[in-house]
Amino acid sequence: MIRDCRADRPEGWSYFLTTYVPAIRRLIAHYAPEKTGDAALVERTLVTLRKPESNLFQTLEPAPERWFVSELRQKIVAGITPSPAEIPIDLEPVADALAPLTVTEKHAAWLESMRYTPEEVAPMLRVSAATVEKIRQRASEMIRGKVDSWRRTLLADNGIALGRAAAAAAAKDCLSMKAFVDLLDGRLTWQAREQMERHVTGCWHCVDHFCRMLEVTEVMRGIRPLDESEAAPLRKLLGLPDPKPTGWKRLFGA
């Protein structure tokens, strides 16, 4: 699909529409709940993604689906304008405050900035919701000690801005696509895992990226592809031809 969309082939875009528009809708509903069901926003998003300058399909193949959807997620969130936080906070004081946390604890705290509840985070990190809540309470108090103004929802209120800052903070030694996927699938050796944890301990870019990979795994769970009645107007929007009937449909004129 990535190769076909990069070459602007209709079959690639048709597959993208039927498979990933439901994920786009789900991400919009999560990060901009007031826009849930906004068909015009979905259409504008698709038109933007179709433009070559979106660079969504420049990923080298083969690219695991989770990696691709993580990049798609970034494009969706980039198009959302969040309400200004009443108490803004930059990434630097957050990183400084949460430096003593373990890697798993940092993931639990960072997923709060991505607006996921302890109950939603628990299966992602394979810990209990109570453990996630305990970590978040501790993290919140650690941040409180580093800022002049504070509220319990500080991370969630600034989540999109913090995520953009973390995404922009990539370093030369950040984890590769394969390392992320191997970590998620439990294929890393102990030595490789220790090396990864040493890097992630001080790299909020990789903390954010790993959390996005966890997120999109859940986003894609249970996704139902668009049926023909839903896909047809979107194909028309992008100027794609209707799919050719095959097999018995050609035979019987269905």
Q: In this predicted model, what pLDDT tens digit does every residue of 183-223 receive, in sequence order? A: 888 887 888 888 888 888 889 999 999 999 999 999 999 89
Q: What is the mean pLDDT of the chain?
A: 90
Reported as a single tens digit per residue, the pLDDT across 70-80 is: 999 999 999 88
Interval 90-97 mean pLDDT: 96
Looking at residue 190, what is its pLDDT? 83
Q: Locate tokens 């969706």: which residue? A: 76
Q: How sure is the predictor about 160, in pLDDT bands with cuts at 50, 70 and 90?
A: very high
% of the chain at pLDDT higher than 70: 94
pLDDT of 60 > 60? The answer is: no
Distance between CA atoms of residues 249 and 254, nearest Å: 5
Mean pLDDT lowest for which of 98-102, 150-154, 182-186?
Answer: 182-186
Amino acid sitting at position 166: A
Looking at residue 253, what is its pLDDT? 46
Structure tokens at 160: 């999109």
Distance between CA atoms of residues 203 and 95, nearest Å: 9
pLDDT of 244 > 60? The answer is: yes
Looking at residue 247, what is its pLDDT? 54
Q: Are 76 and 45 in contact (CB under 8 A)?
A: yes
Looking at residue 27, what is its pLDDT? 96
Looking at residue 246, what is its pLDDT? 57
pLDDT of 254 > 60? The answer is: no
Specify whether the backbone of 212 is left (phi greater than 0), alpha (psi in -120 to 50) or beta.
alpha
Distance between CA atoms of residues 201 and 106, nearest Å: 8
Mean pLDDT lowest for which of 7-11, 89-93, 160-164, 240-244?
Answer: 240-244
Looking at residue 181, what is its pLDDT? 83
% of the chain at pLDDT higher than 90: 69
SS3 138: helix
Please spell the DSSP secondary structure of 77-111, one letter per residue: HHT--PPPPSS---HHHHHHHHTTS-HHHHHHHHH
Interval 116-134 mean pLDDT: 97
Peptide bond into 62 cis (omega under 30): yes
